[in-house]
Amino acid sequence: MNATDLAEFMRSVQGEKDFTEEDAVKRMAELLLATQSSSNNSHYKNLKLRGFTHSSQQNPVLEPPMRGLDLPTFLKFLLNPNLNGPISPASQTITQDMKAPLSHYYIFASHNSYLTGNQLTSKCSTAPIVDALLSGCRVIELDCWEQHGKIKVLHGNTLTKSVGFEICIKAIKENAFKASNYPVIITIENHLKSELQKQAASVLKEILGDTMFIPTAEDRPPLMFQSPEDLKGRIIISDKPPGEPVGKQIAEEPRALSNVVKGALRRGDSDTDSLEGEESSNKETFGRKAQERVMEKVAHKMASIESRDCDNEVIPKVHEFEELLYIYCAKPSEMEERHVKGGPLLAGEHALMANLSEPQLGDLIKKHPNSLIEFAKTNLGRVYPFGLRFDSSNADPMAAWIHGIQVAAINMQGRDRAVWVAKAFFGMNGACGYVKKPDFLLPGSNMDVEKIKSLEPKLCLKVRVFLGTDWHRNYDLLKKPDYYVKVAIHGVPRDQVKKHTKVKYRSREPHWEEEFEFRIRVPELAVLRLEVREHDKFARDDMVGQACMPVTCLRQGIRAVALQSKKGAPRRSKLLCSFELHPL
């Protein structure tokens, strides 16, 4: 295959219409620099690639680019995620209008940003704050408490080990704009007495300096939020009322406790679960039911203790601290003049941020879903994980996003599917941490939940899974592994689909050659998940690797998909897949 052949392949099969022979020469040279000859070409022999026919019998030797590529080297090109990845280079730049109010954008947000692990006993540190910022998060949460007369950041009423407020602010200042120039929002859950609030305000002014956006008196709170473009390079301060006591969360949505407990017991959710449709044995089911009952009793006991500790807390308002706030955050119970308990969420004259627990969001989705959409057209909405997610797991952020709620706070240390999906979703728009909401969720639209549910498909996505290779470890000591691939779409409810390939038994380099078709109604919110598992007949299946990609950023053609670990670490394991996208 010479440069002319490669250029034609890239245009006709890979869909890169402007790919020239000069581009082909450059790509071939990059390939020769990036790869070395491999003696193991077994995974090339049985691969049938649409759009390419092997017509030569050259030896697998790397040749100078002008002389062309032999078949093994061409397949190395196809299997190189850096040269032939599935994500469009255009997604690495800002492609959306950034001059609309903040309420028009989803914002990448972390929850309890300072925690290194679980919500009860883990250490507090600046390291997860830095990691979140470098991952593109634009909302950092700090819970501020008094310890020995000093301001400390920790998860209150737990055994978490605190970290200093000042060093957290320094870490934010130093790393705020390394991943993105668009505004960072520090949400401060304030449990401080008056003098310490004044001290916190002084620390913020001293460390952040001119990067801190201080609103005028007329803009506290504003009638309408400024845009990400107007606030570029600035750090915004937001308050955040203490979350609803867990006991109250349980009372408002009793099923939330049961759902969280069940999720915790099968934290195989993103680590060790098996093929969908497989049923547990009666013995396993009985044991799990018993565990659920024990965990629910423990949860109720801890909830009663937390509620007792929070009942008498009164936080004074201090001018020196209040004057720094641009985004005022309130619980529905604090919007009493326009919110009736159990009623819809209603917008007021000024723009603010509603602070919703996971159960509160679920209750509003069930009873008043359209009020969420209308409220979030001019205001911000924030939803935080249920208080009993002690393991730092997460709810599905799509539940918030499809109702226009911009800030789905994620326990980034949770490392579950919600984290994978959020990272992929915010990989759009140059990974700047802000993604424009679909038009039907913006002011001027009259779309409600029922109309959204009745949307017709706009895009047909076909995913063909060819093979997997370069596995980073052996999963069975006594036999060859049994791999399969889960293929799923995350998005609006009617777009959410889960499928999987057949299990390829006893194969170190499995060839599936299976195609899956998805008809997608809201491509702007759709995320494709590929997840490789190693099947085990007598135990839960092993997690091999995963890759999540925004559907609107996918490139057509035969592409190499690099896999990551559950924690998001890169692995050498990869899949070879083809993608076809057809507007409907």
Residues noted as catalytic? 111, 155
DSSP classification of residue 241: P
CA distance 412 to 409: 9
CA 302-398-237 angle, 5° bins: 70
Q: Are 440 and 404 in contact (CB under 8 A)?
A: no
- Given the structure tokens 């009860």, which residue do they identify? 120
Question: What type of residue is 315?
Answer: I
Residues 551-584 as b or e (16 or more Cβ within 10 Å = b) = bbbbbbbbbbbbbbebeeeebebbbbbbbebeee
Cross-strand pairs, 518 = 461
Q: Are strands 353-357 and 570-583 parallel, antiparallel or unpaired?
A: unpaired
Q: Are 149 and 113 in contact (CB under 8 A)?
A: no
Helix (H) or strand (E) segment spanning residue 30: helix 21-34
Residue (of 188, 183, 189) closest to 235 by Cα position = 183
Residue 58 phi/psi, 5-degree rounding, is: -70, 155
- Given the structure tokens 């990551």, which residue do they identify? 564
Residues 325-351 as b or e (16 or more Cβ within 10 Å = b) = bbbbbbbbeebeeebeeeebbbbeeeb
CA distance 155 to 302: 15
Question: What type of residue is 523?
Answer: P
Token output for 434: 């802000």
CA distance 502 to 488: 15
Residue 465 phi/psi, 5-degree rounding, is: -95, 110
Omega before 221 within 30 of 0, i.e. cis? yes
CA distance 432 to 427: 8
Q: Are 31 and 83 in contact (CB under 8 A)?
A: yes
Residue (of 163, 150, 152) closest to 123 by Cα position = 163
Token output for 210: 């001119």
Task: Kindly list the distances between the CA atom of residue 154 and the CA atoms of 124, 172, 298, in Å, as whole numbers in the listed order.
Answer: 6, 16, 23
Task: Kindly list the distances between the CA atom of residue 229 and the CA atoms of 59, 183, 187, 525, in Å, as whole numbers in the listed order.
Answer: 55, 8, 20, 22
Q: 3-state SS of 210-228?
A: HHECCCCHHHCCCCCCCCC
> What are the DSSP E strand ranges found in 104-215?
105-107, 139-147, 150-153, 163-164, 184-190
Residue (of 531, 405, 538, 525) closest to 458 by Cα position = 525
Q: How many CB atoms lie within 10 A of CB 476?
A: 13
CA distance 348 to 334: 12
